[in-house]
């Protein structure tokens, strides 16, 4: 929670991690003692740089604006010493999005939302080292010249992200109101997100929970690490459940209670089960199995067949921002992961590995 500030100061904000980047900001400040009465939406527009009154009104409608810890409407008349908090999507970075004709797989689309089944290898948004060829570039081309239900040009808004080499379902908002409503759902952790992951090693139990704060590693800033100190990093919780055992590797389902940068990858690495072929977290080495040349060649062949981390965003569920209908989508496992799983099934049978026992070795 951010510290309270006064009207004569700039309101402080805390940035909240979502799937791979910070996408939401939580502002909190106290109205000055000498403040005259005015509508809350007008006051907030004056206090928060670059935020439209429409977006503030959408935030209030989605219960993202609290006055003295209670939801408030846009026309609420502020009073001295009122404590106001507002959750808003982070303003987009000043990066020119060049429309590019790049194919992508649309699972569902209506006036408010777009659900995409992202292929592995596609970067979601432009950034350092990836200034084009991203999903946002593809969306800019797809929506170029199209108008939304309000008659204005459609502007796609990210409400979460997944890594370049992670495949699966991604949710896009098509207008500011939908963006704010979906932001609240992510902030409240009411979005349903399930991943399938192939990891090294076996588990003693069939299910469990990983609860550990995540922050950038002090040894390698590219990766996230788990910290016991509650003052370090962001709180993160991952629930896992074993789906299939192969002795040396295991297929697990991961359910995100929170959404932090590299959360599944870092959490599973922390408990000794890095994702299969996740080079950034050490999963691109042979971590379990025999010393036989034939086995090493088998794993190498699997790495070649699946040249990325074995992680797929399988299920996405949310409440529609306008109709309030519960939406549910499921993406089949992509060919590269499905093929490697089939190879492991055949290998476990041919090698007569006892997949009912944890940490099987031969």
* Gap between the Cα atoms of 177 and 183, Å rounded: 10
β-sheet bridge partners, residue 114: 109, 172
Please name which of 266, 252, 240 lies closest in space to residue 312, comparing C-alpha atoms.
252
User: Which residue is catalytic, options 17, 82, 117, 163?
Assistant: 163
Largest Cα span, the chain: 79
Whole-number Å distance between alpha carbons of 265 and 51: 34
Any idea what DSSP says for residue 130? B
- Rg of the chain over all Cα atoms, to the nearest angstrom: 23
Give the orientation angle of helix 53-61 with respect to helix 40-47, to 10 degrees: 130
d(CA 148, CA 320): 17
In terms of Cα–Cα distance, which of 150, 129, 112, 166 is closest to 275? 166
DSSP 275: B
Active site residue 163: yes
291/216 Cα distance (integer angstroms):
34
Token code pair at residue 252: 């697990």
| C-alpha to C-alpha distances, 26 to 11, 13, 63, 174, 269, nearest whole angstrom | 10, 5, 13, 22, 30
247 within 8 A of 353, measured Cβ to Cβ: yes
What's the token pair of residue 291? 């010393």
Closest alpha carbon to 251 in 199, 307, 298, 194: 199
The catalytic residue positions are 163
């Amino acid at each position: 929670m951010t510290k309270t500030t006064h009207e004569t100061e700039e309101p402080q904000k805390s940035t909240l991690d979502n799937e791979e980047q910070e996408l939401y900001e939580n502002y909190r400040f106290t109205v000055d003692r000498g403040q005259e009465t005015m509508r809350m939406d007008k006051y907030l527009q004056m206090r928060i740089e670059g935020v439209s009154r429409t977006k503030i009104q959408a935030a209030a409608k989605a219960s993202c604006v609290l006055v003295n810890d209670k939801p408030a409407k846009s026309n609420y008349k502020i009073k001295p010493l009122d404590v106001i908090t507002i959750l808003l999507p982070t303003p987009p970075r000043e990066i020119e999005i060049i429309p590019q004709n790049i194919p992508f797989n649309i699972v569902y689309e209506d006036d408010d939302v777009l659900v995409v089944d992202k292929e592995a290898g596609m970067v979601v948004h432009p950034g350092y080292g990836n200034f084009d060829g991203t999903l946002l570039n593809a969306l800019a081309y797809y929506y170029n010249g199209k108008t939304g239900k309000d008659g204005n040009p459609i502007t796609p808004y990210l409400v979460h992200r997944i890594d370049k080499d992670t495949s699966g379902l991604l949710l896009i908002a098509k207008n500011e109101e939908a963006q704010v409503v979906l932001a609240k759902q992510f902030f409240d952790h009411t979005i349903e997100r399930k991943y399938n992951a192939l990891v090294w090693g076996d588990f003693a139990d069939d299910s469990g929970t990983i609860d550990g704060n995540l922050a950038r590693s002090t040894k390698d800033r590219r990766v996230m690490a788990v910290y016991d100190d509650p003052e370090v990093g962001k709180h993160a919780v991952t629930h896992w459940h074993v789906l299939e055992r192969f002795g040396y590797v295991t297929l697990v389902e991961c359910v995100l209670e929170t959404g932090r940068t590299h959360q599944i990858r870092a959490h599973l690495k922390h408990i000794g089960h890095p994702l299969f072929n996740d080079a950034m977290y050490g999963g691109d080495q042979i971590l379990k199995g025999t010393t036989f040349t034939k086995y090493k060649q088998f794993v190498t062949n699997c790495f070649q067949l699946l040249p990325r981390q074995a992680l797929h965003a399988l299920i996405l569920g949310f409440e529609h921002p306008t109709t309030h209908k519960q939406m549910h989508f499921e993406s089949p496992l992509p060919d590269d992961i499905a093929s490697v799983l089939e190879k492991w099934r055949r290998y476990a049978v041919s090698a007569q590995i006892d997949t009912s026992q944890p940490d099987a070795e031969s």
